[in-house]
Structure 1
Amino acid sequence: MLKPFAITLIAFSTPAWADMQVPQAQSEIQMGFVPVVKAVTPAVVNIYARRVIEGRASPFADDPFFGQLFQNFGAQRPRVENSLGSGVILGGDGIVVSNYHVVGQATDIRVVLNDRREYDASVLLADEESDLAILQLQDAENLPALDLRVSDSVEVGELVLAVGNPFGVGQTVSSGIVSGLARSGTATGNTRGYFIQTDAPINPGNSGGALVDTAGRLIGINTSILSRSGGSNGIGFAIPATLVDQFVKQARAGETRFQRPWAGVSGQPVTYDMAEGLGLMRGGGVILSDMHPASPFGAAGFEPGDVILAVDGQEVNGPAEMIYRMSVAGLGTDVAVSVVKDGETRDVAVAMQRAPDQPPRATLTTGARAAVPGVTLSTINPAVIAEYDLPLTVSGVLVEDPGDIGARAGLRAGDILLGINGAAVTDSTSASAALEAATRRLALDVQRGQRRFTMRFRL
């Protein structure tokens, strides 16, 4: 696994086939990619990140007697983890994009330019799901930067260059072609999304580096490979530049977490067999199976059983691609969604908005008088559902942190409290009150993933 602010506009260039001419003379052939490499490499940086992993405390640490006897038993010292990766400068004021797995949770970040200048950096915005992070270089100005290219204009077969620092040997350039587009579900780890596939050699250390076209425009950020050995097998993936542009815009606006438009629906790809039953000419699209009452798609008239064919004029063939299209459209816009409804195809405008934080999540931590003190609870609403990737139909109270006592009792972060002592709980306040009212016995109705069970205790 490969794993603000002076406003600087990032220009998107519309591709022209004139930019990619076949060499006409021997001198041009001999030059190869030299002019492109000279233009691109100053804006590709090496990133050295360091983070401290806290050690596990001794289980006897808080015991008044055994704490002294077993002072060092079971304790682990903090350890330091170092990571090496690459990044791309996207603004003359020091805005840099890299991968989350390179700089996420780092305590110290050092960025080294191709001309050997070095800067400290801080993370402005990071998102583990997309594996992207936006950095700000400290006291940097007048830096070289790459232009972004609209990712939908990229075509299979185009020549591309991958620039990064593989295995820490120093800045390296490799060449290849665009092997495929609209790849989803192919990256490993926590990454989910939509990728450009390339056979340009990508290796550990290339993470966060640039994938550029022959005009020197950024078309993607190299993020992962498929490999059994850990080395390049010619199957690499890059995050499209159009999504990177949304990250930069949100980082400049002061966001610290990437805000995706909320669909509030669930669905699955339409296969060939399904298409025949639905009266469609071919497979493709997403059939809606469930919908939250507050979904913007529901407000626009969509219903379970409808088939979404395209978002913002671009075909979608699965939920990941649909969410990608919504993400690059951006919050605060109305996007045309092509839908097959009652046998007819029409375009319907859908608002791209955040998941509503209503009713209020009212996050609280149970007090010392509660049957299980120190548990952090939140009322489940659309924002909580989106943040924790919960089922659309779920309701109740989310356990954000079980606390020490709750963890010993068997509670886990992500558990959903449905009832306490036989009474349904719908919000964090009532759940906290029920935990304080419990005296002799405690029964917690819990949903964990697809399982529902009851935890019983004597107090």
Structure 2
Amino acid sequence: MRHFTVFLFMILTALPVAAQTQVPQSRGEITMSFAPVVRQTAPAVVNIYAQRVVAEKTTPFANDPFFSEMFRNFGHVQPRVQNSLGSGVIVSEDGLVVSNYHVVGQATQIRVVLNDRREFDAAVLLADEEADLALLRLKGAKDLPALAFRASDTVEVGDLVLAIGNPFGIGQTVSSGIVSGLARSGLSIGGGRGLFIQTDAAINPGNSGGALVDMSGRLVGINTAILSRSGGSNGIGFAIPADLVARFVEQAEQGEKRFLRPWAGVSAQAVDAALAEALGLDLPRGVVLAELHSDSPFRKAGFEIGDVVLEIDGEPVNTPQELLFRLSAKGIGETVKVGYLHKGRERSAKVALVAPPETPPRDPVKIGGRSILEGLTVVNINPAVAQEVGLSAEMPGVLVTEPGRVGSRVGLKPGDVLLRINDKEIDDTADVAKAVRDGGRTWTIEYLRNGRRSVLRFRV
């Protein structure tokens, strides 16, 4: 019996330490609760109730697929109040709140309700539809809880995150998940176009503008939309990265009335497998420069058409949207180190981030008098105008900003690029004014819309 006891003792002492059982030392270790993070972050997430007045035409043909188009200018204009519901995130103690453009961007009345049930009226300081961001100022607010930003380049796939918002208007709700993807681009999400963080934390209608936070309580991104066929959360949600949000807030605090992005002066396309083989790359990566404006900071840094941008400040760039995001997250006035491929050899260069130049001047012209195109308003296209409306860096010509009553009726729209009027080539706004003065009863207007050339012909 003694020999058996000694043998058993030798076996037990030889067991690895890792196999020993450790008693949990706290309630948190037993429950693995997110409650401490929620207590820290939830007070900085708010509910937003917004209203806007929209003008609607009442017509008996509104629901008819054929006559609705034929009689689109028929009927009476009737104002209608449109309500929207969303969320927001407090980012400063004195009452700055970030939300989505599609929640509050065009609102005429905004009411913000805090987690502790306090209510404030709010006004929009800065809004940008393309970024799908809007910044609000709460009137009379002070000493509010605010979230700190987490640098976007430190976020990794697999990180635990919480989505906090007001889904379906039922009240503040928290859902958990992970970061399931980074640098999602090529999508038009929630009204915005750009680079997104993907998460499987449940995001539903009403969560828009809410917070995506990490386990340290830092703001990873602003929840903006879901990918869904049913309208409910299917585990694919998207958030605007915190780096872009931080630049947005910074510009608003500096008094900017429009979100300014650095101007690259380039057009680029992603490198696919075929391009990678032609360029001598081992894998598809980077974006190849297809156009370079004569004043582009990339051209001034020595880049040429056909060069492949691989990274910015050590971070990869694989889509045009990612290129724009990397530059926008740095901001105007900064300098970035760009790694690129030139004729098969990898190089690097410093590129200064500048605002888009206003050359040539816009020289806006509004057609007045008794002209048939009265009310038509046009501007010269320059890099600043091209960036605002999403045109090619090298696009010349004249842009329609307001078609006027007759122009709208015959088919012109804001954003059209005028090429010719009555066989007269249009190079600047002065050409438009002269062509309209010389016009007769028969009109021919040639223009570009979404890259497609079209012609309008009508007689007055």
What TM-score, normalized by structure 1, do the two folds share? 0.88
SS of alignment partner, residue 116 of structure 2: coil
Counterpart residue identity of residue 109, structure 1: I
Aligned twin of 2:276: 275
Aligned twin of 1:28: 28
**Over residues 208-241 of structure 1, what are the superposed CA-to-partner deviations in whole Å (9 max), with x where a residue is unaligned?**
1111111111111111111122111111111111
Deviation at 1:441, TM superposition (A): 4.2
Aligned twin of 2:414: 413
- From the superposition, tell whether residues 76 and 445 of structure 1 become closer, same or farther in structure 2 (CA, over 3 Å): closer
1-side partners of 2:57 and 2:313: how far apart?
A: 49
What pairs up with 1:31-50 in 2 under 5 angstroms? 32-50=33-51
Question: Is the 2:189–2:224 Cα contact (8 Å) retained in structure 1?
Answer: no
What pairs up with 1:288-299 in 2 under 5 angstroms? 288-299=289-300
Question: Is the 2:366–2:377 Cα contact (8 Å) retained in structure 1?
Answer: yes
Structure number, greater radius of gyration: 2
Aligned twin of 1:323: 324
Deviation at 1:430, TM superposition (A): 2.5
Deviation at 1:270, TM superposition (A): 0.9
Deviation at 1:187, TM superposition (A): 4.6
Q: Number of matched residues? A: 424
Aligned twin of 1:241: 242
1-side partners of 2:104 and 2:459: how far apart?
A: 46
Deviation at 1:189, TM superposition (A): 4.8
Deviation at 1:418, TM superposition (A): 1.5
Counterpart residue identity of residue 34, structure 1: A
Counterpart residue identity of residue 300, structure 1: A
- From the superposition, tell whether residues 24 and 213 of structure 1 become closer, same or farther in structure 2 (CA, over 3 Å): farther
Counterpart residue identity of residue 258, structure 1: F
SS of alignment partner, residue 40 of structure 2: helix
Aligned twin of 1:340: 341
- From the superposition, tell whether residues 189 and 207 of structure 1 become closer, same or farther in structure 2 (CA, over 3 Å): closer
Does residue 404 (structure 1) correspond to residue 423 (structure 2)? The answer is no
Question: Is the 2:165–2:207 Cα contact (8 Å) retained in structure 1?
Answer: yes
What TM-score, normalized by structure 2, do the two folds share? 0.88
Aligned twin of 1:212: 213
Deviation at 1:359, TM superposition (A): 0.7
Deviation at 1:277, TM superposition (A): 1.4
- From the superposition, tell whether residues 24 and 89 of structure 1 become closer, same or farther in structure 2 (CA, over 3 Å): farther
2-side partners of 1:52 and 1:456: how far apart?
A: 35
Does residue 307 (structure 1) correspond to residue 313 (structure 2)? The answer is no
- From the superposition, tell whether residues 233 and 319 of structure 1 become closer, same or farther in structure 2 (CA, over 3 Å): same
**What RMSD, in angstroms, separates the aligned Cα atoms of the two structures?**
1.9
Aligned twin of 1:185: 186
Question: Is the 1:365–1:376 Cα contact (8 Å) retained in structure 2?
Answer: yes
Deviation at 1:450, TM superposition (A): 3.0
**Over residues 401-428 of structure 1, what are the superposed CA-to-partner deviations in whole Å (9 max), with x where a residue is unaligned?**
1110111233222221112332322111
Question: Is the 1:160–1:214 Cα contact (8 Å) retained in structure 2?
Answer: yes
Aligned twin of 1:12: none
Deviation at 1:199, TM superposition (A): 1.0
* Structure 2: stretches of 5+ with no match in the other structure: 1-22, 60-73
SS of alignment partner, residue 326 of structure 1: helix
2-side partners of 1:279 and 1:184: how far apart?
A: 25
Does residue 85 (structure 1) correspond to residue 96 (structure 2)? The answer is no
2-side partners of 1:188 and 1:334: how far apart?
A: 29
Deviation at 1:452, TM superposition (A): 2.5
**Over residues 225-275 of structure 1, what are the superposed CA-to-partner deviations in whole Å (9 max), with x where a residue is unaligned?**
111221111111111111110000000011122111111211111122321
2-side partners of 1:437 and 1:226: how far apart?
A: 52
2-side partners of 1:447 and 1:197: how far apart?
A: 35
Q: Which has the higher contact order (CA 8 A, sep 6+)?
A: 1
Question: Is the 2:102–2:190 Cα contact (8 Å) retained in structure 1?
Answer: no
Counterpart residue identity of residue 295, structure 2: A
What pairs up with 1:332-411 in 2 under 5 angstroms? 332-411=333-412
SS of alignment partner, residue 197 of structure 2: strand
Counterpart residue identity of residue 251, structure 1: A
Counterpart residue identity of residue 27, structure 1: R
Counterpart residue identity of residue 452, structure 2: R
Question: Is the 1:225–1:237 Cα contact (8 Å) retained in structure 2?
Answer: yes
Counterpart residue identity of residue 188, structure 1: I
Question: Is the 2:327–2:353 Cα contact (8 Å) retained in structure 1?
Answer: yes
Question: Is the 1:86–1:208 Cα contact (8 Å) retained in structure 2?
Answer: yes
- From the superposition, tell whether residues 186 and 26 of structure 1 become closer, same or farther in structure 2 (CA, over 3 Å): farther
SS of alignment partner, residue 176 of structure 1: strand
Counterpart residue identity of residue 339, structure 1: Y
Deviation at 1:374, TM superposition (A): 0.9
Deviation at 1:451, TM superposition (A): 2.9
- From the superposition, tell whether residues 157 and 24 of structure 1 become closer, same or farther in structure 2 (CA, over 3 Å): farther
SS of alignment partner, residue 146 of structure 2: coil
Question: Is the 1:90–1:96 Cα contact (8 Å) retained in structure 2?
Answer: yes
2-side partners of 1:259 and 1:305: how far apart?
A: 27
SS of alignment partner, residue 251 of structure 1: helix
Counterpart residue identity of residue 155, structure 2: V
Q: Which moved more, 1:37-46 or 1:422-431?
A: 422-431
Deviation at 1:456, TM superposition (A): 3.8
Aligned twin of 1:197: 198
Aligned twin of 2:453: 452
Q: Which moved more, 1:200-209 or 1:181-190?
A: 181-190
SS of alignment partner, residue 55 of structure 1: strand
Aligned twin of 1:105: 106
Q: Which moved more, 1:326-335 or 1:262-271?
A: 262-271
